[in-house]
């Protein structure tokens, strides 16, 4: 179901340690500006793990793929260098995706 972007902004504080979303500047993690609709592992100027670029072949980040990834990043992308255990509460996942969506056109 649809998430709540305002609630997602609070959840995103956990992500903001490593990710920008209101700019395309890379941090420890790639910028998530415009990530929805983008092929995994392709933000310009970010050095991804081989695991992430291999995972991304033929895929696009959409709500369904983000939902599985954010629940268990290291289970879904084995060998990813995203050192984050994932979000346990499915509501947090839906809400943070709704927030991330507001920074992705179309």
Name the residues that contact ligand HEM, by CB under 6 A: 14-15, 17-19, 28-30, 32, 35, 40-41, 43, 48-49, 51-52, 61, 70, 80-84, 87, 96
We find the least distance from the C-beta atom of residue 37 to ligand HEM, in angstroms, to be 11
Using DSSP, state whether 61 is helix, strand or coil. Answer: coil
Query: Which residue number, 94 or 96, has a Cβ lying nearer to ligand HEM?
Result: 96
Cβ count within 10 A of residue 86:
16
We find the least distance from the C-beta atom of residue 40 to ligand HEM, in angstroms, to be 4
Closest by CA to 73, choosing from 7, 14, 10, is 14
We find the least distance from the C-beta atom of residue 45 to ligand HEM, in angstroms, to be 11
Query: Which residue number, 1 or 73, has a Cβ lying nearer to ligand HEM?
Result: 73
- Beta-carbon contacts of 90 under 8 Å, excluding residues fewer than 6 positions away, are 71
Could you tell me the maximum CA-CA distance found in the chain, to the nearest angstrom?
34
């Amino acid at each position: 179901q649809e998430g709540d972007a305002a609630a997602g902004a609070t959840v995103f504080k956990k992500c903001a340690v490593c990710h920008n979303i209101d700019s395309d500047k890379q941090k420890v993690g790639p910028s998530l500006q415009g990530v929805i609709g983008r092929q995994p592992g392709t933000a310009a100027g970010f050095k991804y793990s081989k695991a992430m670029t291999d995972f991304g072949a033929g895929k696009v980040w959409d709500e369904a793929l983000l939902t599985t990834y954010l629940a268990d990043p290291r289970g879904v992308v084995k060998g990813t260098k995203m050192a984050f255990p994932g979000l346990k509460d499915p509501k947090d996942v839906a809400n943070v995706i709704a927030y991330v969506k507001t920074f992705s056109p179309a």
